[in-house]
Structure 1
Amino acid sequence: MRRCAEFFGSCVRRTDILARYGEDEFCVLLPSTDLEGARRVALKIWEDFGSCRFLPSLELSVSVGISTYFFGEDKSYKMIKRADQALYRAKLEGGNRVVCWERGQSLLKGSDILIGIFTGDVGQDYRHIRLLLGAISKVNSTMNLDELLRLVVDIIIEITGADRAILMLREGEELVISMAREQGKKSLREVEGFSRTIPHKVLETGQAICVWDTDVQEGLSRSVYSFQLKSIMCVPLRSKGETFGVIYVDSRLERRSFCEKDLAFLEALSQQIAIALVNARLFEENRRRAERLKESLEEIELLNRKLEATNRLLEERLEVQANELEQACVNLRQSQRELQRRFSYHNIIGKSEPMQRLYRLLDRISESDVPVLIYGKSGTGKELVAKAIHFQSRRRDYPIVSENCAAIPEELLQSILFGHVKGAFTGADRDKAGLFEFADGGTLFLDEVGDMSLQMQKKLLRVLEEKKVRRLGSNHAIDVDVRIIAATNKYIPDLVRENRFREDLYYRLNVVEIVLPTLSERREDIPLLVEHFLERYAREEGRSIPRVSPEALRFLVEYNWPGNVRELENEVKRLMVFADEVILPHHLSSHILEKSGSVISSVDFLSCVQELKQARAAFEKSFICSALERNGHNISRTAEKLGISRQHLHRLIETYRIREEWKKK
């Protein structure tokens, strides 16, 4: 602006008056110059200014408005107002041009609002500028919004002499009274008797409205007359091109009618008021934001303290849990060792020849991962042998999971073995892993596999071939590493011939075959088993071990035990209830007493177990021959009646050379 002022000064005479009018506007007074002379000066300024370069990257243009003093005109400021109107037209037409005021032109809204304040009278203008600067200084003296509103309204009343002043701010689509005061710096609790039409029109148009005299001006709303208002002014409050409020003043006194100077002063002041209100609002928002931030920081600090306390508590709990976990690991290792000891096949009770053959077979497969198929009647200890195989294998540190295939419906068995995903069927409210996943790394024992449906056999075969399992309702394959031990009380080859069992699955399962002897096939183990069960239950009950009389033991050894070891164990449990120090024959179940004796009637039973062992071979041979004769030498029917497998019966026939004796006969 200084460089521009120097340029304009070089373009005029010494007798001419150059002044900066405001912001980027300058005023040049040319004494003793007519309109044509003023036009030449303006054109020279315009042409020379266009060729100047104030900064390398800055291009400026100039617009000039021209007006002359009309002869006999009583107000010099009117000439300045006309020049301002011409300048305003130049800007509206695109700028960078010279426009001269011509008679008959209508006044344009939006030109310089200071025209009405500065009149050319030095004394009066000095007073006006002092009033304006004083008002601006007061307006900018506070950032408290409520205090600013009171101060603004009081200043307006003081300067304009209005009866009252109302400041209204936009809230949404409504104008809300934020402050209303009257003469004497008094607040108006209830604001009535003012025209609401005028403020809303100013808010809508963004243009000031002034009613100098309601008695003269036409087209006013009825409320203006009914409220007996004499003079009204209403100006907009604008920020960034948007009207966000209005200032309304009115007067009922005849002697205090507003004029153009009052409106010009109020418009000039309203700009500063708008800036101050925006700043106060921002200050208030920042203050509230700072308070919220402070509160948030205090809350954060409090939360941090709570978090520290919680962390300390969690650390203490974590330490306790770590100790508990360590102890649990110790207990788990102890339990694992106990399981390995308990299910070691060396602890399986039995010293008979069939059991010795079983032990030798278990020795051979203990370190192998091959599938095993266990044949055995109910109660012969199939699961016990399966666990013994697992706990002697390399998989001993991983779980062994057991499932009875005959006890579960097919649709449920699939979910149990393979798992399911949420929504796979009614009631599947969450994902669930199957037994294959639980047994991963370990062993899966499938009991009564001969009762599995063909459809289920097909799905099981697929898992065994792919070593992948798919949960019910999902196509995602999960890798599994599981050793399969299956057990059945049915002869699988017969089921294959009857198309009730898949041959390919049979060969998958029957890599190693184990046939468990029935208890009647190893009678010499009965005294050992009885002694074992008596010791266990006496220890559990904390009592002395009862002694078995020779007569009672004879009945126990002679009985056929269709339920095998499980039936014998249940009988011992019963004897612990009814017998005291000595178990006598009358303590035994009635069916044992009734069915004993006829089985080995051809061999004298002595009370000594050693004598039974010596007589065992003769007894077995005689017993088998009698059974074969009773069943017409049918191997399958004889084996079923004896409660042994066909394979076992074949081995006994070969051992005792019974077939050779048949041929001789």
Structure 2
Amino acid sequence: MDDTTVLTFDVDDFVEEFSHCFTGECRVSVLPVLYKISQINANAADLARSLPIILGVMRQHLKMQRGMVTLYDRHSGSIFIQDSFGLDEAEKTSGAYAPDGGITAKVVESGKAVVVQHRDADADGQRKSSRIKSALFCVPIVHAKRVLGTIGAERVYMNPRLLRQDVELLAMVASMIAPAAELYLMENVDKVRQEHEARRIKAALKERFRPSNIIGSSKPIQDVYALIEKVAATKATVLILGESGVGKELVANAIHYNSPTAEGPMVTSNCAALPENLAESELFGHEKGSFTGALAQHKGCFEQADGGTIFLDEVGELSLPIQAKLLRVLQQRKFERVGGSKPVKVDVRIIAATNRNLAEMVERGTFREDLYYRLNVFPITVPPLRERGSDVITLADHFVTRFSKASGKSIKRISTPALNMLMSYHWPGNVRELENVIERSVILSEDDVIHAYDLPPSLQMPKESGTAFGVSLESKLRAVEYEMIVEALKTSNGHIGDAAQELGLTRRMLGVRMERYGISYKSFRSADPRKWGPEA
């Protein structure tokens, strides 16, 4: 039996197919076209150079009237036209290249090709022929199961079967250029987005640390604002002085983020936390193999801060040998890493801070005199909280808002007795202690008010709360009773009758209780809330 396979075909179909070659619908040259596109993609990793050639093939060989390649930025959710032909300026600007402008978004969302056909029709809407008036189709560019963009085109077809072939052809092209599209997005769109994000974060940090955002309006803190404004524009070394918890690091950040080098790094080193044997390595870095455990080269804080600012917190805790090395950096702006011999030069601004009296340390010989004068170029003393007057209340309100939001509570105010306690306390821990006190009070609060009995025992002074130290039931009841009386008198503007009615007491009963706690109704007719409370 003859093994020859006989192929048969319809002569009419062949004639029809061949005749369409004259209208540009012949696909007998599809393989050369695909080969050309594959060569383009292999030889031009730059998508921007490849796309004009690919679009040229679509326009000249496939006879497309309009076409475009879009890319999708998954972080912003935006779709933009990377290259196109046959579009007017309005379509390029809007990103739409057909009346059905949502086709591209549908393809990006679904990851599947979309085809829209428009056929000739008579006045009654009946199809006149199989001829497609126009066809609009869009295929996704997919790599590693992620949609990177689309290829879309529009064409008039004499032969409807060629529409399916063109969709398949562009799908192949999309697959070919997908790796280049991903590389382009990573190197361009993602890079630009990351740069924008970095600038946004820098701007947010600058806004956060600008002097006007350091809470407080008292005269002492206003003086600090003025000094920050003057020194920030320079590169002078700054020495920030003040008790523990006053916010020295906040001042250092305010100086950096308002300086000409605000775009540079801000590196903080807590000198008090540096072990003696590691302090030099942490500040100045070390070379590989310079000591046991030095498995690789390490850049210290000064090298990391190159082009920006280094903040040396608690600089008074450094040992004398490290002080000598720090002095050289201040003088020459260069140093050697531990185990190294090559000088490392840095352009860095130095801000130091301490809660110790460096002048006394110089007299005792525990701090180098020459280093002290090098650091003390522009001193700023941050006042303790007890010297900032009404800033205590301003800060307390700020912390209440922050911690109530963080804990999901809706605390609206601090009661008058609690305010009296906050104002009367001496705050040895300064702003940091106040912050911790308010956080604790927000946790303990059971309504929308911070009450006196929500404050820690260290603030429960007999003069303010009518109680002694301790948390006994009797003390708690007395504190609550005192606060309710004060709140009622405050609400009634010092009218005993109205206050008694609010509390459900007679004027006589309320008078007895006011006398017990040393409360005078006259105090509540004053406009100054700090005068509300017991008589001296």
TM-score in terms of structure 2 length? 0.54
From 300, 304, 307, the equivalent of 1:441 is 307
Are 1:611 and 2:478 an aligned pair?
A: no
From 272, 276, 282, the equivalent of 1:410 is 276
**Aligned equivalents of 1:387, 1:474: Cα separation in 2:** 32
How many aligned residue pairs are there? 309
Structure 1 unaligned runs (5+)?
1-303, 599-603, 616-665
Using the TM superposition, give the Cα deviation of residue 608 of structure 1 relative to its aligned residue in structure 2, in angstroms.
9.6
Using the TM superposition, give the Cα deviation of residue 520 of structure 1 relative to its aligned residue in structure 2, in angstroms.
0.8
For 2:180, the aligned partner's letter is E
SS of the residue corresponding to residue 386 of structure 1 reads helix
Cross-structure match for 1:321: 186
SS of the residue corresponding to residue 484 of structure 1 reads strand
TM-score in terms of structure 1 length? 0.44
SS of the residue corresponding to residue 396 of structure 1 reads coil
From 438, 444, 469, the equivalent of 1:572 is 438
Cross-structure match for 2:318: 452
- Deviations along 1:522-581, one digit per CA (max 9) or x if unpaired, are 131111001111122233344423311111110111111111000100111111111120
**Aligned equivalents of 2:313, 2:177: Cα separation in 1:** 51
Kept in 1: contact 2:306–2:347 (CA 8 A): yes
Structure 1 535/481 Cα, relative in aligned 2: closer, same or farther at 3 Å?
same
Structure 1 429/315 Cα, relative in aligned 2: closer, same or farther at 3 Å?
farther
Using the TM superposition, give the Cα deviation of residue 366 of structure 1 relative to its aligned residue in structure 2, in angstroms.
1.9
Are 1:583 and 2:450 an aligned pair?
A: yes
**Aligned equivalents of 2:333, 2:185: Cα separation in 1:** 41
For 1:367, the aligned partner's letter is A
SS of the residue corresponding to residue 290 of structure 2 reads coil
Structure 1 364/306 Cα, relative in aligned 2: closer, same or farther at 3 Å?
closer
Kept in 2: contact 1:559–1:595 (CA 8 A): no
Deviates more, 1:604-613 or 1:505-514: 604-613
Using CA pairs under 8 Å that are at least 6 residues apart, name the structure with larger relative contact order, 1 or 2.
2
**Aligned equivalents of 1:614, 1:419: Cα separation in 2:** 57
**Aligned equivalents of 1:535, 1:320: Cα separation in 2:** 42
Structure 1 312/458 Cα, relative in aligned 2: closer, same or farther at 3 Å?
farther
SS of the residue corresponding to residue 294 of structure 2 reads coil
SS of the residue corresponding to residue 432 of structure 1 reads coil
**Aligned equivalents of 1:368, 1:390: Cα separation in 2:** 10
Kept in 2: contact 1:550–1:608 (CA 8 A): no
For 1:531, the aligned partner's letter is D
Cross-structure match for 1:530: 396
SS of the residue corresponding to residue 310 of structure 2 reads strand
**Aligned equivalents of 2:321, 2:365: Cα separation in 1:** 12
Higher CA-based Rg: 1
Cross-structure match for 2:460: 593
Cross-structure match for 1:424: 290
**Aligned equivalents of 1:609, 1:530: Cα separation in 2:** 22
**Aligned equivalents of 2:525, 2:220: Cα separation in 1:** 21
Using the TM superposition, give the Cα deviation of residue 459 of structure 1 relative to its aligned residue in structure 2, in angstroms.
0.5
Kept in 2: contact 1:420–1:473 (CA 8 A): yes
- Deviations along 1:201-259, one digit per CA (max 9) or x if unpaired, are xxxxxxxxxxxxxxxxxxxxxxxxxxxxxxxxxxxxxxxxxxxxxxxxxxxxxxxxxxx
For 1:463, the aligned partner's letter is V
Kept in 2: contact 1:374–1:513 (CA 8 A): yes
Cross-structure match for 1:475: 341
Structure 1 610/312 Cα, relative in aligned 2: closer, same or farther at 3 Å?
farther
Kept in 1: contact 2:416–2:529 (CA 8 A): no
**Aligned equivalents of 2:225, 2:294: Cα separation in 1:** 45
Kept in 2: contact 1:551–1:607 (CA 8 A): no
SS of the residue corresponding to residue 415 of structure 1 reads helix
Are 1:562 and 2:479 an aligned pair?
A: no
Using the TM superposition, give the Cα deviation of residue 324 of structure 1 relative to its aligned residue in structure 2, in angstroms.
2.3
For 1:523, the aligned partner's letter is G
**Aligned equivalents of 1:312, 1:427: Cα separation in 2:** 48
Kept in 2: contact 1:524–1:612 (CA 8 A): no
Cross-structure match for 1:29: none
Kept in 1: contact 2:311–2:352 (CA 8 A): yes
Using the TM superposition, give the Cα deviation of residue 613 of structure 1 relative to its aligned residue in structure 2, in angstroms.
7.6
Kept in 2: contact 1:396–1:442 (CA 8 A): yes
Are 1:352 and 2:218 an aligned pair?
A: yes
Kept in 1: contact 2:286–2:340 (CA 8 A): yes
**Aligned equivalents of 2:462, 2:290: Cα separation in 1:** 53
Using the TM superposition, give the Cα deviation of residue 326 of structure 1 relative to its aligned residue in structure 2, in angstroms.
1.8
Are 1:497 and 2:370 an aligned pair?
A: no
Structure 1 438/608 Cα, relative in aligned 2: closer, same or farther at 3 Å?
farther
Kept in 1: contact 2:352–2:375 (CA 8 A): yes
Kept in 2: contact 1:339–1:391 (CA 8 A): yes
Identical columns (%): 44
Using the TM superposition, give the Cα deviation of residue 496 of structure 1 relative to its aligned residue in structure 2, in angstroms.
0.3
Using the TM superposition, give the Cα deviation of residue 434 of structure 1 relative to its aligned residue in structure 2, in angstroms.
1.0
For 2:183, the aligned partner's letter is L
Kept in 1: contact 2:411–2:449 (CA 8 A): no
**Aligned equivalents of 1:564, 1:610: Cα separation in 2:** 27
SS of the residue corresponding to residue 339 of structure 1 reads helix
**Aligned equivalents of 1:540, 1:496: Cα separation in 2:** 45
Kept in 2: contact 1:448–1:489 (CA 8 A): yes
Structure 1 458/586 Cα, relative in aligned 2: closer, same or farther at 3 Å?
same
Kept in 2: contact 1:448–1:488 (CA 8 A): yes
**Aligned equivalents of 1:410, 1:613: Cα separation in 2:** 49
Structure 2 unaligned runs (5+)?
1-40, 46-142, 145-175, 466-519
Matches within 5 A, 1:43-442: 315-322=180-187, 323-442=189-308
Using the TM superposition, give the Cα deviation of residue 427 of structure 1 relative to its aligned residue in structure 2, in angstroms.
0.9
For 2:452, the aligned partner's letter is P
**Aligned equivalents of 1:608, 1:331: Cα separation in 2:** 54
CA RMSD of superposed structures (Å): 3.0
